[in-house]
Amino acid sequence: MTARTLFVTGTDTEIGKTRIATAVLRGLVAAGHVAVGYKPVASGCETTPAGLRNEDALALAAAGSPGFAYEAINPYAFEPAIAPHIAAADAGVRIERAVLDAGHARLAADADWVVVEGAGGWHVPLGADWDSNWDFAGWASAHDWPVLLVVGMRLGCVNHAMLSARAIAATTTFAGWVANTLPPRQPRLAENLAWLEQAMPGPCVAQVPIDPPAEHAIEPAAWLGDGARP
């Protein structure tokens, strides 16, 4: 089988990408699909007897279909919780496009859906040379993957959301955005949501409250098209 792919990015770090990506995975699995998460590059990993492990990558593995090894889901793992390209440089490692592509291809060969979670925001670099266009934006756009933007609803989110959405739409398919409500609850949340709903270049596919599990608010079949249905 050859999987369809959804790339999940965010307006910043710590705004709920993993929360939303795991909800999408659970929805796809519940709909009868073989769905797997892919965290190609992760910093902020813990040392375990099995090797470096990242909390977000582990959550993706738990939410998706069984049978996929951790190393397949997270090929590049770095211990310090810093920007991935800096963590890689400190470790003496180059993040190679061919490795990311091959890892995705292996997962896609055994799944209906691959949900790829980036790190930080859309333009987080994967190498030291900016001129090479080696960042998550360039990589996802080169594959023409549809992109779901997670907007952390907090002060400043309107600017971050608009800049990110326009940058995504300029180079690949903007699948839509999720309003992920962060604690403490944003003052004038309703007004900010209303403004973004009429200004963003794609649909708001879900508004996720602070407390309930995100999968209660996200139904992939409703916005990913016929391919999301069993």
**pLDDT tens by residue, 40-63:** 999 999 999 999 999 999 999 999
**What DSSP string describes 43-79?**
ES-EEETTEEE-HHHHHHHHHS-S---HHHH-SEEES
**Bridge partners of residue 147, in order along the sequence:** 7, 174
pLDDT of residue 214: 75
User: Which position among 4, 26, 39, 85 bears the catalytic label?
Assistant: 39
More confidently predicted of 163 and 226: 163
Looking at residue 230, its pLDDT comes to 37
Residue ranges making up the domain that contains 211: 4-228
Supply the pLDDT for residue 225.
65
**Residue type (1 letter), 77:** A
Top pLDDT among 121 and 211 is at: 121
For residue 12, the 8-state DSSP code is S
Among residues 111, 113, 149, 105, the alpha carbon closest in space to that of 17 is found at 149
CB 68 within 8 A of CB 40: no
Whether residue 229 is predicted with pLDDT greater than 50 in this model: the reply is no
Q: d(Cα 39, Cα 100) in Å, to the nearest integer? A: 10
> Distance (Å, rounded) from C-alpha 117 to C-alpha 227?
20
Give percent above pLDDT 90 in the chain: 85
pLDDT of residue 72: 98
Give the count of domains, the chain.
1
* Angstrom distance (rounded) from CA 158 to CA 221: 27
Q: Would you give the DSSP letter of residue 186? A: P
Token pair belonging to 145: 């993957």
Residue given tokens 């909800």 in the structure block:
23
Instruction: Give the pLDDT confidence of 95-139 residue by residue, as tens digits.
Output: 999 999 999 999 999 999 999 999 999 999 999 776 567 999 999
Q: Which of 26-40, 129-143, 172-186 has the lowest mean pLDDT?
A: 129-143
Unique residue bearing structure tokens 């997962």: 107
Give CA 167 to chain center in angstroms: 16
Q: What is the CATH number of the domain that holds 46?
A: 3.40.50.300
Q: What is the pLDDT of residue 212?
A: 73
Q: Is 39 among the catalytic positions?
A: yes
